[in-house]
Structure 1
Amino acid sequence: MTTTRRLLPSLAALTLTAGLLAGCGGKEDPETTNAGGSESTTSAEASDGGGASKSPERPDVPKPDPKDYPGMNEHTEKGAEQAFKYYWDLVMWGHQTGDAADLKGRQTENCELCTSLVGDIEKIRRDQTPWSKTTFTDKQIETATPEGQEYAFVYSFVVGEHEKPVKRNSEKVRRSDPTVYAAAGGVVWGNEGWKVDDAGAHNEPVDQ
């Protein structure tokens, strides 16, 4: 992911525990540019006891429930905040499932990172390379100065340790250590509710 120029002032103005170190590559999935060497590649055991491994199965990960984001469909600042958190929950769920369908309706055409994220997740589905099941923990959300949007936020959260196949049908997996993300974005209100209109993010490994 890359931080958009419009949101750079907002990120610079807020000192978060996330540290805001390594940028997340726009055409890569969020974990591929973690700083600090937090990834390693290992060989997974073959599913048939030594032969070719099967295609990785989609983890049984519950989809984020809109009921857990009270007011996100309301035209209020709290609703905007909840909608922004829901969007990023869908992003992380999508990396575990390859499902980006709901994201498409929650972004505007202005959000280049959003389009890249959808492409990343759809590639995961095509290549059958989902993340293993992982945890997703909120840290904090701060109001930022919007640049052309109604509201803007910087949201930090922790993604737990997880693995993903290096490529389809591969026995090798890439391990990602627990990572803190800080996502900045602006949202706009329309006939279909809140949509992310601009976004960027940074990440760094969790201190061990």
Structure 2
Amino acid sequence: MPRQILPSLAAAVLALGAAACGNGGDGPVTTPPPALGSDASDGGGSDPDPSDGGGAETEEPTAAAPDIPAPDPADYPGMNEETPEGAEQALRYYIAVMYWSYQTGDANELEKLHTDTCERCLERTHDIRSVGDSGTHWSPAPIEDVGTNNIHTDDFDQLISYAYQLGAHQEPNPNTLELEHVPQAPYTALAGMTWDQDAWTVERILISESEHAE
């Protein structure tokens, strides 16, 4: 069944491609979803000043991570196949693991799914670890698929867009760490995917709140 590319993604495609052709500069600038961008960990979460007294550092207790089952790779058949469909499934799995990581504070699996040069991915991993350190986690955030699309490009092995609905949930305010209600919202992820060592990895990614094409 044919699927349309969101018209609003056209500029993002160009930005993502331009970033891929750059020489290691900053990644493309977009409006990230709440708590997913680089600003999410800057509000009140900076490292404490080093002590000049010489006393032992006090270690604050942290809450145990919620026992939430991780996404099952078996639910994303073909994601380890070198095909456009495999890249689509791999991106769906990345998104599922990303939100699971925000719910648990565990970014270990997520780190395996992107390259070391994906700046947005690295920022997100830092944010997730900050959530884990604070002991304040997201509540479950259900994901409803809307559709995926493969976009022709010469900049990546595959360029994939993935539209989905993120269900209503709670997440900590970056300044107060108090949980706040976040309503359901539509999102689109656009990712440049690289095939490496028998698996797809995310090389570049943009995630933004966006209306989905009918």
Question: TM-score normalised to the size of structure 1?
Answer: 0.70
Aligned to 1:36: none
Aligned to 1:180: 186
What corresponds to 1:148 in structure 2? 155
**Does the residue aligned with 1:72 lie in a helix, a strand or coil?**
coil
Q: Distance in 1 between matches of 2:32 and 2:107?
A: 22
Q: Is residue 139–residue 171 contact of structure 2 (8 Å, CA) maintained in 1?
A: yes
Gaps of 5+ in 2: 1-11, 19-29, 44-60
TM-score normalised over the length of structure 2: 0.68
Separation in 2 of the partners of 1:169 and 1:60?
24
Q: Secondary structure at the match of 2:38?
A: coil
1:48 corresponds to which residue?
none
C-alpha root-mean-square deviation of aligned residues, in Å?
3.2
Provide the residue aligned with 2:196 in structure 1.
Answer: 190
2:140 corresponds to 1:116: no
C-alpha distance in 2 between matches for 1:132 and 1:205: 24
Equivalence for 2:205:
199
Q: How many residues in Structure 1 have an aligned counterpart in Structure 2?
A: 170
Higher strand share: 1
2:38 to 27, 43, 66: 27
Deviation at 1:167, TM superposition (A): 6.7
* Contact 1:140–1:156 (CA under 8 A) maintained in structure 2: yes
Name the CA distance, whole Å, in 1 between partners of 2:105 and 2:205: 21
Structure 1 unaligned segments of length 5 or more: list them.
9-20, 33-53
Mapping 1:64-83, distance limit 5 Å: 64-83=71-90
Per-residue deviation, 1:75: 1.3
Q: Distance in 1 between matches of 2:154 and 2:132?
A: 34
Pick closer, same or farther for the CA change 1:111–1:182 going to 2, 3 Å: same
Instruction: Tell me which structure has the larger Cα radius of gyration.
Output: 2
Does residue 133 of structure 1 match 2:140? yes
Displacement after TM superposition at 1:116 (Å): 1.0
Q: 1:165 to 1:186 in 2, by over 3 A?
A: closer
